[in-house]
Amino acid sequence: MYPGLEGVEVKESEICFIDLENSKIWYRGYDLEELAQYSTYEETVYLLLYGRLPTVGELGEFSKKLAAHRRLPSHVYDLVTNAPKSGEPIDVLRTAVSAMALGEDLSDKSPEAELSRGVKILASMPLAVAVFHRARDGQSAITPEGAESHAEYYLWALRGERPTARETRAMDVMFIIYAEHSMNNSAFTAVTVSSTLADMYAAITAAIASLKGPLHGGANVDAARMLEEINRIGNVEKWVDSQLAAGRRIPGFGHRIYKRGPDPRLRVLKSLAGDLAAERGDYKWLEIAQRLEEYVGSKLSQKGIYPNTDLYAAVIFKYLQLPVDMNLPTFAIARAAGWVAHVVEYRRANRLIRPTERYRGPARLRYVPLSQRETPTASVG
Ligand code: ACO
């Protein structure tokens, strides 16, 4: 038995290698830290989806394709615009992706057909999120003409004004860092759904549902709320002590696979958070995160608990002035690349995913007619 499927290898993959010994992550053989430094999200998505870095011409074509797909079918646009304002943006995004399937011919189940659906979904997710966000604020939707990247398009569509080059680059780096991370819960969910030969819309809808949970992507919202609750560096110890005393987990800490040292992505995230804090002359969120890291570390590192990406992602998104509940759909927008890559890879040699379990329940009970049943001592809910 493998509780939580810890350590179970479910498929072979050429997409992402996490080298725990050397604290490195590789996307298709390329060092993630180099990609974060020199690449763009578009180039990284191309790499993840097509298996190699693009030429200038290929990247241009791919960027044009993404731009052309940055639109929503009218029924999805209406759904997102009219969604209850109190809805969580991640739920609206999940519903929007599901609704995108309506009216499309889904009969072609080839990996190529799923890949082109995946590109369409990935391209249109920022608009779905931005349209909802602006509608709930009573603002009309913006479809930025002339946005030069996915990151710029997203921030622009969300805010209604063009972000600075620095903000765009920071979001681009976040997209690259969040784009893929091997067989995590949401990638496994996407592959599991797709293994039944359900379509890419179904797989991505399910992956977004998985990402939402606070043990997975939802932690980047909880971590931002934690920073806000703490609010002053002097409150860190008291806040952490009260959480632990109440038996609660500290969001942004702990990881299923990083139990012998911190997540390698933190090197990039900490440096980006430091740059943004310095540019803004506002160190508050960074310093709270650093104090949290020291203090939670002093309490929990002996259990193999270190900060994860969501702690510093929350700091970076604070500096980018993202509304807190947008942290999670922002993660989903970036991670769509990894989900699509895994679904397409698995579809190429598909086998239905159908594990088993060990039965521990009662055996050989005899059916008692309803009229003869006695009231059990503990009644059922
Ligand atoms: N705060 C306090 N204690 C923790 C935390 C935490 N964040 N994480 C784990 N622990 C403790 C557990 O209570 C447990 O203690 P025990 O042995 O005394 O019972 C021990 O560490 C081991 O925990 P497990 O649940 O076995 O660890 P697992 O590998 O299953 O969980 C997980 C990993 C779910 C990420 C966990 O660390 C957690 O809940 N973290 C907080 C939520 C979070 O930040 N999630 C984002 C993960 S990254 C991502 O998905 C994008």
Identify the CATH number of the domain in which residue 342 sits: 1.10.580.10
| Ligand 1 atom nearest to 216, measured from its CA | 50
Closest CA to 145 of 134, 159, 158, 157: 157
pLDDT for the residue 256 = 96
Report yes or no on 254 lying in a domain: yes
| Ligand 1 atom nearest to 244, measured from its CA | 2
How do beta strands 16-19 and 24-27 pair?
A: antiparallel
Residues 6+ apart with CB under 8 A from 160: 134, 139, 142
Report yes or no on 6 lying in a domain: no
Integer CA distances (angstroms), 242 to 245, 247, 250, in order: 5, 9, 10
226 CA distance to ligand 1 centroid (A)? Answer: 16
- HSE (CB half, 13 Å, CA atoms) of 361? 4
Nearest CA to ligand 1 atom 16: 303
Closest CA to 233 of 287, 295, 273, 294: 287
Q: Which of 2, 248, 253, 301 to mutate to test the pocket of ligand 1 (most atoms within 8 A of CB)?
A: 253
pLDDT for the residue 379 = 54
Q: Is 137 a catalytic residue?
A: no
| Ligand 1 atom nearest to 185, measured from its CA | 50
Q: Which of 225, 248, 292, 303 to mutate to test the pocket of ligand 1 (most atoms within 8 A of CB)?
A: 303
Tens digit of pLDDT at every position of the chain (381 positions): 899 999 999 999 999 999 999 999 999 999 999 999 999 999 999 999 999 999 999 999 999 999 999 999 999 999 999 999 999 999 999 999 999 999 999 999 999 999 999 999 999 999 999 999 999 999 999 999 899 999 999 999 999 999 999 999 999 999 999 999 999 999 999 999 999 999 999 999 999 999 999 999 999 999 999 999 999 999 999 999 999 999 999 999 999 999 998 899 999 999 999 999 999 999 999 999 999 999 999 999 999 999 999 999 999 999 999 999 999 999 999 999 999 999 999 999 999 999 999 999 999 999 999 999 998 876 555
254 CA distance to ligand 1 centroid (A)? Answer: 5
pLDDT for the residue 376 = 83
For the chain, strand residue ranges (E) read 16-19, 24-27, 30-31
Strand partners, 16: 27
Report yes or no on 176 lying in a domain: yes
- HSE (CB half, 13 Å, CA atoms) of 313? 33
pLDDT for the residue 213 = 98
Closest CA to 243 of 226, 263, 218, 256: 226
Report yes or no on 373 lying in a domain: no
| 178/35 Cα distance (integer angstroms) | 12
Q: Which string of DSSP letters, residue by residue, matches 112-154?
A: HHHHHHHHHHHHHHHHHHHHHHHHHTT------TT--SHHHHH
Report yes or no on 92 lying in a domain: yes
| Residue 153 domain boundaries | 11-347
Nearest CA to ligand 1 atom 21: 303
Angle at 88 between CA 86 and CA 92, to 5 degrees: 105
Closest CA to 123 of 70, 170, 166, 59: 70
261 CA distance to ligand 1 centroid (A)? Answer: 14
Report yes or no on 124 lying in a domain: yes
212 CA distance to ligand 1 centroid (A)? Answer: 16
| 323/301 Cα distance (integer angstroms) | 31
Ligand 1 site residues (CB inside 6 A) read: 4, 214-217, 219, 249-256, 300, 303, 305, 308, 310
Strand partners, 140: none
Q: Is 310 a catalytic residue?
A: yes
Nearest CA to ligand 1 atom 2: 249
Q: Is the alpha carbon torsion for 245, 251, 256, 257 positive or negative? A: negative
Do 142 and 130 contact (CB within 8 A), yes or no?
A: yes
83 CA distance to ligand 1 centroid (A)? Answer: 33
Domain count, the chain: 1
Report yes or no on 358 lying in a domain: no
Residue in the structure block whose two tokens are 């050397």: 22
Report yes or no on 88 lying in a domain: yes
pLDDT for the residue 375 = 86
Token pair listed for 245: 């005393």
